[in-house]
Amino acid sequence: MRNTTSNRLCRTSGLSLALLVTALFGCSKGQEAPSQTPVTASPAAPAVTIPPTPTAMPALYAWADPITIAGIRFADHTWVTTFDASSSCPPPTLYWYSWGGCHSTGPGTTATLLDHRPASVDVARCICQPDVEDYRFLAGDPAHGGIDFYGVSGVCHQLSNRILFATAGAGGTPASVSGAHGYGVSRFLYGTYGSDAAEWAARKARCVPPVPVPTAAPGTPVAMAMALSPAMTLEADFAAMLRERLGPEVSRTKMAKLQQLHGRLQQQKARLDRMLLRGATSPRSFADGVNSLVNETLGEAARTLDPAEYERLFGIPPGETIGIVDPNIAERSNYKGRG
């Protein structure tokens, strides 16, 4: 009973105190506030949205190293990595050999960094399996990226360019190994991505996402959507090379002569390919034959162009003998696994 009475007294006292406070400050219903400048409530400040920090996309790095065999300067060997730090052999992860051996990088080496750009490493891995030094003469080998037969459909330049296609953004131009010594001659013989345009078109369609990535909020990192341009034939690739390197000022007569030389080179090269594939010539003889054919054709091109034009087109001075197909790699890649 005492507890109940106490509770009622507490509630009554509390109510009386509330009424007293209301009367003193004039805030009860129906009574205006003291005459002062009306107070206007400021709108709440909008919430500050801090965009997420974009995650840096991984990059691909293109490398070159000079090669000399029997006193002849060959086209540089090229390869691709996901790192630009100094490294020794065996290499760290994600190293694409590109039909070659391991090459150390950093101070004291002759390796040169040609290019580097953000890339989709998943696309690069789909195009060619990294971390495999493989010389098997076998169609479909994942370490060869579609350049299955060394010296037939391409060499390290074409395979490296295929891997570097993973640096192409939406409609962008991908990185390449165009800065390598001998690249102009290599492209003259095999094109940018190898002589098998149909295989390259199929590989791109399989490895590159077919639809653009949906638009994301500002600051949100998104995967690259890459343009699937049609694969060019060797003839179309050489025509593009002529336009890029010589421009419109070169006479039509010279252009026609160069295209004629290119067509004849491809025909004679195809005959050597057939001899190799049916076992009518050894891999080393095949490599020597291709290199001789290339230098004979270059000699004719030098008689068609002036020295400056020749060097712009091929990247070497007239009269320089160059090797494109390494006979040592040809021998290893073509003997192994053919039986």
pTM for the model stands at 0.79
φ, ψ dihedrals at 155, nearest 5°: -130, -160
Name residue, tokens 């998943």.
Answer: 122
What are the b/e assignments for 9-44, b being 16+ CB within 10 Å? eeeeeeeeeeeeeeeeeeeeeeeeeeeeeeeeeeee
Q: What is the pLDDT of residues 127-157, one digit of tens each?
A: 999 999 888 777 788 999 999 999 999 999 9
d(CA 228, CA 202): 11
Tell whether the model's pLDDT for residue 226 goes beyond 70: no
Query: pLDDT higher for 140 or 111?
Result: 111
Task: Give residue 247's pLDDT band: very low, low, confident or very high (50, 70, 90).
Answer: very high
Query: Nearest-CA neighbor of 148 among 102, 206, 81, 196?
Result: 196
- pLDDT tens digits, 267-318: 999 999 999 999 999 999 999 999 999 999 999 999 999 999 999 999 999 9
213: left (phi over 0), alpha (psi -120 to 50) or beta: beta
| Domain residue ranges in the chain | 59-210+227-335
Region for residue 70 given its phi and psi (left: phi exceeds 0; alpha: psi -120 to 50; beta: otherwise): left
| pLDDT tens digits along 18-70 | 433 333 333 333 333 333 444 444 444 444 444 444 445 799 999 999 999 99
The yes-or-no verdict on residue 101 having pLDDT over 80 is yes
Tell me if 78 sits within 8 A of 98, measured CB to CB.
yes
Give me the count of residues in the chain. Answer: 339
Q: Can you give the pLDDT at residue 232?
A: 87
Joined together, the tokens standing for residue 70 give 């029997």
pLDDT (tens digit per residue) in 72-96: 999 999 999 999 999 999 998 899 9
